[in-house]
Amino acid sequence: MFLQSLSLQYFKNYEKAEVSFCDHFNCLVGINGSGKTNVLDAIHYLSTTKSAFHSLDSQSINHDGQYFVVNGRFSLKGKQQKVHCSLKKNFRKTFKVDESEYERLSEHVGKFPVVMIAPNDDELIRESNETRRKFFDSIISQYDHEYLQSLIKYNQHLKQRNALLKAMNESGRVDAVMVETYDKPLITLGQGIAKKRKSFIKKFLPHLQSNYDRLSERRERVSVEYNTKVLANDFAEQYAKGLKKDVITQRTNLGIHRDEYLLVIDDFLIKKYGSQGQQKSLLISLKLAQFEFIKSHLGKTPILLLDDIFDKLDDGRISQLMSIIGSDTFGQVFVTDAREERTRSLLQGKFEPMKLFRVDENSIEEVS
């Protein structure tokens, strides 16, 4: 699978742009702020139906526009498919494949998979468990649509239960019978989700360790520890006993939305005790493991998006990463870099076919 062409209208800094890609290495070079990352984000939209960087779709509309349009033409097993994404201010987002619009955007997830490695990935280590839950949920959701639908339903019920808790707190009256109508589906859905998360981590860990071994030359052992209370035998009792606290805090304090994913290196939390080099190696290993896992479960080779990673890695890790992604395991790769001469020295003549594009303000020009 690879992206043949991309066209943009009023998407972020682009009023209009069209570009054709090769099926292996595509390098976007230009000064910071020129729009290189926005091209990768457009590709991310076509794959996942959303931005990799913004929670609000309206933030992707050009300041001079009232809408944005992103079109992409993919080659999948010899067949061409056109993917369309558009949004008009104050209207619902439109998503189509070959002119056929989805009833639910979740139906598209996993059809054109991508994996992105970007500077803000260090949030996986620095930030809360919510960031890590979203990361691992995004992997499972791409190959298990039942999991994705359960997660969507769970979050809907959770939102409604929290709204009820807030109303009860304000009124001073607790309606236990009403709360129970949300408790049963939340517990049932949560237990199913937790079982799949637990099973996933067990299968994911070998991919993570093997990639970390290649980047670090087998210096340490890394792991992900998944902690949940949902699978405890007395969880339903704990849930019921927690109602008083839930009303006071106006939120549901137990459930899979509180699960923990701990990133560990040699039995210590890497967030606290890992060096910068170890943390960078683990981050890249997580993304490469994500790539391998999605590929093996979907039977499709994801597009790999590498955003400004050369500035974040030392020469040794850049060399190791290039040797990994240059293997037959990987297909189409997109790389952004602010320094054209560095990209040429690292990639030209080593990865073929390869295309180089110079990004300047709101234009994308192929360079011979």
Query: Is residue 132 located within the same domain as residue 73?
Result: no
Check the CA dihedral 231-226-307-37 and report its sign: positive
pLDDT digits over 152-161, tens only?
999 999 999 9
Higher pLDDT, 77 or 166: 166
Helix (H, G, I), strand (E, B) or coil at 206: helix
Per-residue model confidence (pLDDT) at position 322: 84
> Are 272 and 344 found together in one domain?
no
- 121 belongs to a structural domain: no
Of 363, 304, 275, 355, the residue nearest 118 (C-alpha): 304
Q: What is the CATH number of the domain that holds 97?
A: 3.40.50.300
What pLDDT, on a 0 to 100 scale, did the predictor assign at position 121?
A: 87
Q: Are residues 307 and 204 in the same domain?
A: no
Question: In this structure, are 213 and 331 located in the same domain?
Answer: no
pLDDT of residue 10 exceeding 80, the answer is yes
Q: Are residues 280 and 312 in the same domain?
A: no
62 and 74 in a single domain? The answer is: yes
Residues spanned by the domain of 266: 127-298
Q: What is the CATH number of the domain that holds 267?
A: 1.20.1050.90
Name the β-bridge partners of 9.
16, 69
pTM: 0.90
Final residue belonging to a domain, choices 244, 267, 298: 298
> How many structural domains is the chain composed of?
2
Last residue of a domain, one of 275, 298, 321: 298
User: How much is the pLDDT for 153?
Assistant: 97
109 and 23 in a common domain: yes
Q: Note whether residue 66 is domain-resident.
A: yes
Q: What is the mean pLDDT of residues 104-121?
A: 91
Shared-domain flag, residues 71 and 149: no
Residue 191 sits in the same domain as residue 285: yes
**185-to-160, 164, 176, 182, 196 alpha-carbon distances in Å:** 12, 15, 15, 6, 17
Percent of the chain whose pLDDT exceeds 90: 78
Average pLDDT over residues 344-362: 87
Within-domain flag for 119:
no
